[in-house]
């Protein structure tokens, strides 16, 4: 066995040790949206994934394959995420070997293989898109380094079909040639920028046109307000890289606009070490990779650890260069320590309850982790948890909707009706709240009032499945618009 194969085998084993604990995990959070996506669950989803309004079509095809081959068995979904991460680690090693000394490349790949900063990207099924995008971005970098520019442009195009966050890769390629003082191939570079612009605009259009995208105009935050918070977010990411503790699926981020001064200072210092691919180049390009998700393009979540997956490629390359002079035992100890921390955080993903308890511990004043926890524990505990959430945000309608659901489970229907009524009072145009109140009225035997609520909900959202199925149980036959998209299972119920 050659040294090269041994090193790659060690990298793969390290990644499995660090993140293999997530293999026994369940579906969490947005993962359930995949199981209810008509594109993924439909036999024809392999081509429906390429519709204009479907972002990340390549990633959606991978989800479609998972569903068609393993259904709702989470193990296979997690296994594919882990395999993709291992592939990224190996290709990263191969790519960096052509850019920095081999020892530094191996240290960089080893840190990338196990760093807890990457736990969310590997353990969270919904985050798979960034794994696929990173893989093809690395192939683009590798072929660009070999002066096979047009093949590099092709790999970049494929990466953009996986996730739009890699849109800054052409800037990285430009900076790569500037740092190495190589002649810039303007034609393929211009083509790469053109692809970035066209596919980026397509994503912006889709995020504004698709209801509930939680991005762009639907993020619930203005670009200026988002930018004011992202300086703090970037510094938080850097702190987690250097002091790897405090990871959470739902971080609570303060808005300190002056944090951008710290970011600017780091970039100025890095600029002094930009030439010849020294560590400064890699830190600057890490910021370049992070810019699409941490600047003026708003998203519902101010911070998400999975967004650091692609920037960590550059961060780890810089760390590899800085650590290369240390004894191999010291570097081995660093990698082993990081792997142990990652194993702990990856294991949290095996239990939704543990995952959301950790999120509450890290952000005790956020409501969303408490709502998600309530869906993972028994009703009595869930009710107590939601009452605590109510103290934090008494005007949040989602708390009362969830509280009503739990009270129905406990058989406390009158109280559930009051909770659903409070949710509807706080958000009078929410069709789900109307349907929920109708469900409580139905249990109380108030059939006519329940039917009215279901019909009102359908006027707001004619494709609301729960309202349609509730009316069917009342022997009503609501008209289902042809534009409604349902999973095969939902179609059978209707």
pLDDT digits over 133-166, tens only? 999 999 999 999 999 999 999 999 999 999 999 9
Dihedral angle sign, alpha carbons of residues 111, 117, 123, 126: negative
In angstroms, rounded to a whole number, what is the distance separating the alpha carbons of residues 221 and 227? 10
Instruction: Supply the pLDDT for residue 212.
Output: 59
- Mean pLDDT value of segment 200-206: 81
Average pLDDT over residues 290-299: 87
pTM higher than 0.85: yes
With a cut of 70, say whether residue 214 has pLDDT above it. no
Tell me, rounded to whole angstroms, the distance of Cα 392 from its chain centroid: 26
Segment 53-92, tens digit of pLDDT: 788 999 999 999 999 999 999 999 999 999 999 999 999 9
pLDDT tier for residue 311 given thresholds of 50, 70 and 90: very high
Q: Which residues of 342-352 are buried (b: 16+ CB within 10 A; e: fewer)?
A: bbebbbbbbbb
Output 236 or 300, whichever has higher pLDDT: 236
Mean predicted lDDT score pLDDT of the chain: 92
Judged against a pLDDT cut of 90, whether residue 45 lies above it is answered with no
Residue 383 has pLDDT above 80, yes or no: yes
Q: How much of the chain exceeds pLDDT 70, in percent?
A: 97
Tell me: pLDDT of 213 over 60: no
The pLDDT of residue 479 is above 90: no
Q: Does 218 have pLDDT greater than 90?
A: no
> What average pLDDT score do residues 285-296 get?
92
What does the pLDDT look like over 442-464, one tens digit per residue? 999 999 999 999 999 999 999 89
Say whether domain 356-493 belongs to CATH 3.65.10.10.
no
Domain segments of the chain as ranges: 3-353, 356-493
pLDDT of residue 490: 82
pLDDT, residue 406, reads 95
pLDDT of residue 78: 97
């Amino acid at each position: 066995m050659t040294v090269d194969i041994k090193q790659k085998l060690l990298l793969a084993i390290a990644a499995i040790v660090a993140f293999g604990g997530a293999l026994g995990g369940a579906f969490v959070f947005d993962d359930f949206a995949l199981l209810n996506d008509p594109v993924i669950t439909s036999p024809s989803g392999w081509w429906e994934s390429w519709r204009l309004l479907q972002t990340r079509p390549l990633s959606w095809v991978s989800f479609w394959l998972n569903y068609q081959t393993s259904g709702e068995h989470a193990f296979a979904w997690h296994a594919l995420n882990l395999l993709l991460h291992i592939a990224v680690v190996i290709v990263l090693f191969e790519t960096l070997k052509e850019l920095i000394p081999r020892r530094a490349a191996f240290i960089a790949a080893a840190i990338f293989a196990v760093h807890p900063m990457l736990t969310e990207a590997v353990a969270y099924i919904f985050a798979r898109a960034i794994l696929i995008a990173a893989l093809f971005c690395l192939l683009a970098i590798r072929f660009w380094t070999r002066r096979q520019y047009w093949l590099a442009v092709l790999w970049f195009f494929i990466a953009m079909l996986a996730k739009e966050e890699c849109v800054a890769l052409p800037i990285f390629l430009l900076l790569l040639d500037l740092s190495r003082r190589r002649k810039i191939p303007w034609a393929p570079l211009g083509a790469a920028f053109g692809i970035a612009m066209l596919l980026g605009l397509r994503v912006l259009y889709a995020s504004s046109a698709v209801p509930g995208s939680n991005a762009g105009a639907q993020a619930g935050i203005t670009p200026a307000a988002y930018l004011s918070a992202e300086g703090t977010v970037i510094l938080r990411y850097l702190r987690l890289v250097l002091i790897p503790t405090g990871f959470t699926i739902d971080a609570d981020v303060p808005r300190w606009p002056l944090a951008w001064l710290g970011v600017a200072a780091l970039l100025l210092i890095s600029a002094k070490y930009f030439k010849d691919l020294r560590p400064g180049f890699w830190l600057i390009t890490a910021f370049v990779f992070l810019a699409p998700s941490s600047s003026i393009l708003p998203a519902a979540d101010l911070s998400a650890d999975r967004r650091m997956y692609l920037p960590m490629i550059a961060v780890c390359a810089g760390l590899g260069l800085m650590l290369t002079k240390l004894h191999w035992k010291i570097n081995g100890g660093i990698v082993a320590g990081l792997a142990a921390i990652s194993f702990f955080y990856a294991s949290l993903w095996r239990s939704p309850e543990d995952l959301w308890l950790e999120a509450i511990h890290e952000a005790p004043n956020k409501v969303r982790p408490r709502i998600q926890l309530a869906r993972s524990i028994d009703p009595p505990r869930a009710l107590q948890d939601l009452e605590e959430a109510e103290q934090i945000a008494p005007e949040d309608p989602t708390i009362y909707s969830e509280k009503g659901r739990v009270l129905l489970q406990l058989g406390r229907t009158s109280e559930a009706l009051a909770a659903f009524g409070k949710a509807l009072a706080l958000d009078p145009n929410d069709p789900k709240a109307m349907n929920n109140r109708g469900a409580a009225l139905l249990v109380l035997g108030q059939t006519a009032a329940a039917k009215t609520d279901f019909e009102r909900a359908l006027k707001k959202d004619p494709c609301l499945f729960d309202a349609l199925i509730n009316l069917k149980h009342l022997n009503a036959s609501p008209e289902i618009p042809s534009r409604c998209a349902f999973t095969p299972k939902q179609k059978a119920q209707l």
